Structure 1
């Protein structure tokens, strides 16, 4: 599913063409017309609010996951790989994948996303 499709699905019947690339739209209704249980509501002032379904939190960075582009893979680092299953759940591998093995995991094993694994820094004291 593409980013735009995820945004449309999250908004459902409330989707409109004024929804931006990260799923926000400006509303003058604020918390009166949107249930804060399901929507993030950010007051901009002067009766203007940014509204977005809570399910879209993290969409700006795709929660750190990068959609694999075989022609543009990294040339250093260690990665986690993942893919969506037929039932819509996301599965990620338990192995750390070195950059030079990334192409094999993506092509041969059908993984579609990867995420850098950041090694923790050693303590200073």
Structure 2
């Protein structure tokens, strides 16, 4: 599914009425929706307007701007540098850690007994938690 498909799905029956007002991240200026389809605000369970921008969007689109931190691999340009990442793989039902080798373009699971290369659809950096200050 594409980003645009998710945005269309979130707006549902209001998509055709509002599509010309919706930006590439599924947001719409509050004034536009208020005058065009006021009922949509309640029915779509919209997130409150961003303070100065006055942009609103359906709650189900929260995180769509950066895909919740995940990079979708659609071409070679999307591949990361060699290293360890959190990945979504077709072979596993949940996200796992994997090591990527750019030179051979291969992903290998970490922390499992599985030693087969895997096919990865999404990845994101593994961010170590900072220790407590006090």
> 1 CA distance for matches of 2:51 and 2:95?
41
> 1 CA distance for matches of 2:22 and 2:8?
9
Partner of 2:106: 104
> 1 CA distance for matches of 2:71 and 2:64?
11
Unaligned runs of 5+ in 1: none
> 2 CA distance for matches of 1:27 and 1:35?
13
State TM-score, norm by structure 2.
0.66
Unaligned runs of 5+ in 2: 109-116
Higher relative contact order (CA 8 A, sep 6+): 1
1:75 Cα deviation from its structure 2 partner: 1.8
* Per-residue Cα deviation, 1:100-119 (whole angstroms, up to 9, x for no partner): 1794349x533211111012
Answer yes or no: is the 8 Å Cα contact 1:81–1:105 preserved in 2: no
Q: CA RMSD in A?
A: 3.5
After TM superposition, the structure 1 = structure 2 runs for residues 38-117 of structure 1, keeping only pairs within 5 Å, are: 38-42=45-49, 49-72=54-77, 73-83=79-89, 91-94=93-96, 96-100=97-101, 103-105=105-107, 109-117=118-126
State TM-score, norm by structure 1.
0.70
